[in-house]
Amino acid sequence: MTEWRSYATHLECSATGERYDIDQVHNLSAAGKPLLVRYDLDALKAAMPAPAYEGRGPDLWRYRELLPVREEKHVLSLGEVTTPLVRLLREPGEVLVKDEGRLPTGSFKARGLCLAVTMAHGFGIKRVAIPTNGNAGAAMAAYAARAGMESYCFAPEDTPEVNIREMAAQGAKVWRVNGLINDCGKIVGEGKGPMGWFDVSTLKEPYRIEGKKTMGLELAEQLGWDVPDVIFYPTGGGTGLIGMWKAFDELEQLGWIGSKRPKMVAVQSTGCAPIVRAWERGDEHAELWQNAHTVASGIRVPAAIGDFLILRAVRESNGWAHAVEDADIEAAVVQLGREEGFLMCPEGAATYVAYRQALVDGRVAKSDRVVLYNCATGLKYPLPPSDWRLDRTQPIDYAALAAA
């Protein structure tokens, strides 16, 4: 087996560049901003001048040199598989869906939380807490159970019942809160002192972004160490978008990809679009979105602590931020299921709506290679009813079945 080695060297404040010891527990920097993991990329390039992953498992841990976990014994794994790229057959160009619903706990939150909880486990942390719209809490609960940790989840009161029960089934103590995810985040932050838990909120610790970064590493490898022309990403806290942008930068420094970058498109709902509003105004930060609402609960994030990092990646890539209507999201879920056999979650369907609108207005060409991120299995969300019945004791009108 290949030696386990991480080339992580230190943490860096995303706003000031101040360095922090990677071997100590941290949440935000002294400036109150996210911390980013940095690596000795020159040393890695000398040791691995080209990607060399033969013989490694088809999972995110194959990229261990570019992850912060120093010792294999601390790894918590539930089988973080390489997720497939599924081509949509009825689109005019090459439109690929990265189906993150194949991951443990059925969503891409498994990537970030397996890294965050693994690192917490390595630091000897015994209690973790998270504000969640559903999928992040489920992922944290699963990995915390794996590690023998206590886990506490705080979710908006309208979080889908399946998510609440999933968290509880995996050992978490779960509370519904009469507010939104930012209100839940305030409870977690204020509870750090009296409860002694580690806060694994989005971008309030350094390691979820490293897990989400593997979406970019994996995508580049799947495309033969190349990148697509456009990526449509459902954006709430934006960890994955920021992480992929970080991954592409690290890969270029290693010489594994060139300077080409995909246009990064941050997709939100018109009922909660703080990043879209900030992008349209040319602002560096996004104001709190009042009365946030959308059927795509995973992107119902009224305020993101990494807003400036999301906007920076979008602008540096010559991408854009785009909001879509809930009615269009719901219609796309049905359409993709019936026409493509692809059961998308609402957040993933939002990226499809944004792609179709960009195709019409010319921001995407039919010749572009486009990647849409489906962030969770559609089975976690309400599905259209199907109420037809047959009485097997009566004659069956088969012609009527065909006409139904």
pLDDT tens readout for residues 173-220: 999 999 999 999 999 999 999 999 999 999 999 999 999 999 999 999
Q: What's the mean pLDDT when you consider all of the chain? A: 96
Model confidence at 138: pLDDT above 60: yes
State phi, psi for 378 to the nearest 5 degrees.
-65, -15
**How far apart, in whole angstroms, are the C-alpha atoms of residue 240 and residue 310?**
9
More confidently predicted of 384 and 379: 379
Contacts of 329 (CB under 8 A, 6+ apart): 269, 294, 295, 296, 346, 349, 350, 353
pLDDT at 3: 81
Same fold, 85-106+207-380 and 109-199: yes
Report d(CA 163, CA 380) in Å as an integer: 7
DSSP 237-273: S-HHHHHHHHHHHHHHHHTSS-S--PEEEEEEETTB-
Angle at CA of residue 144, ends 60 and 184, nearest 5°: 105
pTM for the whole thing?
Answer: 0.94
Residue 54 pLDDT exceeds 70: yes
Cα–chain-centroid distance for residue 202?
A: 10
Over residues 2-27, the pLDDT tens digits come to 589 999 999 999 999 999 999 999 99
Model confidence pLDDT, tens digit, residues 280-313: 999 999 999 999 999 999 999 999 999 999 999 9
Helix (H, G, I), strand (E, B) or coil at 379: helix
The mean pLDDT value for 335-346 works out to: 95
Phi (first) and psi of residue 44, to 5 degrees: -65, -40
The pLDDT of residue 2: 57
The amino acid occupying position 112 is: G
Edge-to-edge strands of the sheet including 127-131? 173-177, 150-156, 127-131, 198-199
Q: In CATH, what class is 85-106+207-380?
A: alpha beta
Report the CATH number of the 109-199 domain. Answer: 3.40.50.1100
Which pLDDT band, with edges at 50, 70 and 90, does 1 fall under? Answer: very low
Buried/exposed 100-136: b ≥16 CB within 10 Å, e otherwise: bbbbbbbbbbbbbbbbbbbbbbbeebeebbbbbbbbb
Mean per-residue pLDDT for 222-234? 98
CA atoms within 13 A on the CB side of 84: 6
Separation between Cα atoms, residue 402 and residue 1, nearest integer Å: 57
Q: What is the pLDDT of residue 383?
A: 85
Record the tokens describing residue 181, joined without a space: 């995810």
Residue 70 CB coordination number (10 Å):
16
Using the predicted structure, report yes or no on whether residue 356 has a pLDDT greater than 80.
Answer: yes
User: CB-based contacts of 94: which residues, under 8 Å, 6+ apart?
Assistant: 87, 368, 369, 370
Q: Could you tell me the sign of the dihedral formed by the alpha carbons of 233, 275, 105, 65, in that order? A: positive
Residue with tokens 């690192």: 119
What percentage of the chain carries pLDDT values higher than 90? 96
Residues 33-56 as b/e (b if ≥16 CB within 10 A, e otherwise) read: bbbbbbbebeebeeeeeebeeeee
Domain boundaries, the chain: 8-74, 85-106+207-380, 109-199
